[in-house]
A and B are shown apart, each in its own frame.
Chain A
Amino acid sequence: MKILCAVKRVEDPDQKIKVKPDGSGIVLEGMNYKPNPYDEIAVEEALRLKEKQGGGEIVVVSVGDDSFVTEMRHALAMGADRGILVKVSSPTDSDGAARLLAKVVEKEQPDLVIVGRQAVDDDQAQTGQLLAEYLGWGQATFAAKVESLESAEEKSKTPGLQIEGGKVKVIREVDGGLEFVDVELPAVVTTELRLNLPRYASLPGIMKAKRKTIEELDAASLGVDITPKVKVRSLSSPPARKGGIKVPDVATLIDKLKNEAKVI
């Protein structure tokens, strides 16, 4: 089985993000980057499926510039087999990324595409859905699993997705519960946080990844229009949180919640 995963390079969310004074973007100087955590989960799931089936190929794809190679190497060090970097001169929006990924999928013909539900940089959560639409494939978003991430199943690295009779069985996290769906292959699956705990890139894995190939494709050669349809007009920091107040008793608290905050 051939599985394609998309990996995006994102600003490390654990650092302090500052908006530029003119609101045109964020300050990139001194920024640390990491692979999008949802995409790491996608790669982990692909690895588990491959291990369960005893074979197959995992291709990781990024849409970005040369710097994305670092995050692609991370996915290769986790165990993916090879990479494809679709080179763009400026960042795309979700639609542009989905259109480029669709071209790569047409070329690679994978049985399954697994991508993170969203990237933690701009939290759009659209690429997977758009990709399925452009391909005309079925999709299952927000894949999770029933067992907790502390469970024995998780520790034994059991995949949450199941491949059976030309279908992928997916447990979707939805409001108020779980939805069990079967999607015909080929399909697009997007991953929720509660699907798995991604493995470390081991030191032998890192050394092996050095020798794995990353093919470069020029976005312009793929013949799709990736002009951004979404224009970011300005960014601003959330207003600073005002300090709380102390209330003398429960009655005052209830009163304030009811009459001032109007939440009860």
Chain B
Amino acid sequence: MDFQLSTEQIALRDTARKFAREEMAPVAKAYDQTGEFPLDVIAKGFELGLMNMTLPVELGGLGLSHFEQALVVEELAGGCAGISTSMIANDLALLPILIGGSPEQKERLVKPFSEKLRFASFGLTEPGAGSDVAGLATTAVRDGDHYVLNGSKMWITNGGHADQFTIFATVDKKAGRKGITCFVVEGRPEGLTSGHHEDKLGQRASNTVSLTLENVRVPVANRIGEEGQGWQIAMATLDNSRPLTAMLAVGIGQAALEHSIAYAKERKQFGQPIAAFQGIQFMIADMATELHAARLLSYEAAAQLDAGQRNTLVSSYAKRFAADTAMKVCTDAVQIFGGYGYSKEYPVEKLFRDVKLIQIYEGTSQIQRLVIARELLKA
């Protein structure tokens, strides 16, 4: 692997860093408090090309590599993880179409997102189907040239603002995984309603709602892949998105590390900066080392995608390790700040709350371990 960044890659990263520092960080606290949707920030990000980065050029995207997107996402996460999650949610919703859709579907259902700022939501999780994705209960019943969808979805990012939804439903509950099918619901048709914005612990700027589908009619032309291919499409989508969520964790952890270093040099106790104490030095050394290991794992998971290789194992390593590491780094950052770390007046308290979500969404750290073990133990 080549660790040398090209001039363009450095430039992409610099723009993302500048955007995170100048446009996201100054408003992050306010959006965290109110839980309002940061549309103005996202709109500026869209104008700069910080969304839909990996969409192919023929679909109006920039055609960046997953590795390049990872560089950008680390920087954005340092500005505000909540806003970042909302900025990359379109990727998650459009990936199933890129993976399993026909050229016509890509043109019709993906391309418009590169032309104008719009939101698409990914709907897999349900009230009764979290880690047990295959147990989803939303049904799709064929009716002529349509399917009729019924059920509910949970924790849907940007669901209150989206006008396109990628919904996984079963055409045959008895068939388990083999019944799961992927559909795209366009607009906000009759029968589709979203719940209130969840009052979350962290990443509060990111819109999160429940969705209810009541006799929502979806044309057969909006079925992605064949009936029963939904499970494979969902799993391939998550293989693609894990390096990104891992980099979100690394970005949050990096911000926590930088705040910790600055504070440790400034805060004086017993007549000297606390950075002079070995106890603090060891914490900072471990935080930095482990974060960097998480970063490199995430790079590799992204690079495997770019090389067209199956990255299930390494992307699960990356997501699990980065999320758990960043959680630990942020916990230590709060510890270094002491009482100030527990106060909303100081920045690490928010990072500590924000990072927790990454151990949970898009496959908990426990599910990642199951995926890893399954990959290692399969015949």
B7–A202 contact, CB under 8 A? no
B18 at the interface (CB under 8 A from A): yes
B62–A201 contact, CB under 8 A? no
Give Cα A206–Cα B63 distance, bound, in whole angstroms: 12
Q: B72-103 interface mask toward A, CB cutoff 8 Å, 1 = contact, 0 = none? A: 10000000000000000000000000000000
Chain A residues positioned under 8 Å from B62 (CB to CB): 203-204, 207
Further pairs besides A70-B11, A206-B8: 5, Cβ < 8 Å: A77-B11, A200-B15, A201-B14, A203-B50, A203-B62
- A77's nearest neighbour on chain B, judged by CB, is B11
Give which listed residue, B8, B10, B15, contacts A202 with CB less than 8 A.
B15
B49–A74 contact, CB under 8 A? no
A82 at the interface (CB under 8 A from B): no
Output the least CB separation between A243 and chain B (Å): 14
Give which listed residue, B7, B18, B49, B64, contacts A69 with CB less than 8 A.
B7
B39 at the interface (CB under 8 A from A): no
B244 at the interface (CB under 8 A from A): no
A200–B18 contact, CB under 8 A? yes
A210–B49 contact, CB under 8 A? no
Q: B14-36 interface mask toward A, CB cutoff 8 Å, 1 = contact, 0 = none? A: 11001100000000000000000
Q: A205-232 interface mask toward B, CB cutoff 8 Å, 1 = contact, 0 = none? A: 1110110000000000000000000000
A73 at the interface (CB under 8 A from B): yes
Interface size range on A against B: 10 to 19
Contact (A203, B18) CB under 8 Å given A69-B7, A77-B11: no
B19–A203 contact, CB under 8 A? no
B7–A204 contact, CB under 8 A? no
A206–B47 contact, CB under 8 A? no
Q: Which of A70, A73, A203, A205 has the most CB of B within 10 A?
A: A203
Contact (A74, B11) CB under 8 Å given A200-B18, A204-B62, A207-B62: yes
- A203's nearest neighbour on chain B, judged by CB, is B49
B11–A202 contact, CB under 8 A? no
Give Cα A41–Cα B63 distance, bound, in whole angstroms: 30
Output the least CB separation between A206 and chain B (Å): 5
**What are 27 inter-chain pairs, A to B, with CB distance below 8 A?**
A70-B11, A73-B7, A73-B8, A200-B15, A201-B11, A201-B14, A201-B15, A202-B15, A202-B47, A202-B48, A202-B49, A203-B12, A203-B48, A203-B50, A203-B53, A203-B62, A203-B64, A203-B72, A204-B49, A204-B62, A205-B49, A206-B11, A206-B12, A207-B8, A207-B62, A209-B8, A210-B8
Q: Which of A169-214 contact B (CB under 8 A)?
A: 200-207, 209-210
Q: Which of B54-71 contact A (CB under 8 A)?
A: 62-64
Chain A residues positioned under 8 Å from B19 (CB to CB): 200
Give Cα A109–Cα B328 distance, bound, in whole angstroms: 60
Chain A residues positioned under 8 Å from B10 (CB to CB): 70
- A70's nearest neighbour on chain B, judged by CB, is B7
Chain A residues positioned under 8 Å from B7 (CB to CB): 69-70, 73
Output the least CB separation between B107 and chain A (Å): 20
Q: B271-303 interface mask toward A, CB cutoff 8 Å, 1 = contact, 0 = none? A: 000000000000000000000000000000000
Chain B residues positioned under 8 Å from A207 (CB to CB): 8, 62-64
Chain A residues positioned under 8 Å from B11 (CB to CB): 70, 73-74, 77, 201, 206, 209
Contact (A200, B48) CB under 8 Å given A206-B15, A207-B62: yes
Q: Which of A73, A200, A207 has the most CB of B within 10 A?
A: A200
Output the least CB separation between A68 and chain B (Å): 11
Chain B residues positioned under 8 Å from A69 (CB to CB): 7
Give Cα A202–Cα B11 distance, bound, in whole angstroms: 9
The 5 closest A-B pairs by CB, nearest first: A203-B49, A202-B48, A206-B11, A204-B49, A202-B49
- B10's nearest neighbour on chain A, judged by CB, is A70
Chain A residues positioned under 8 Å from B8 (CB to CB): 73, 206-207, 209-210
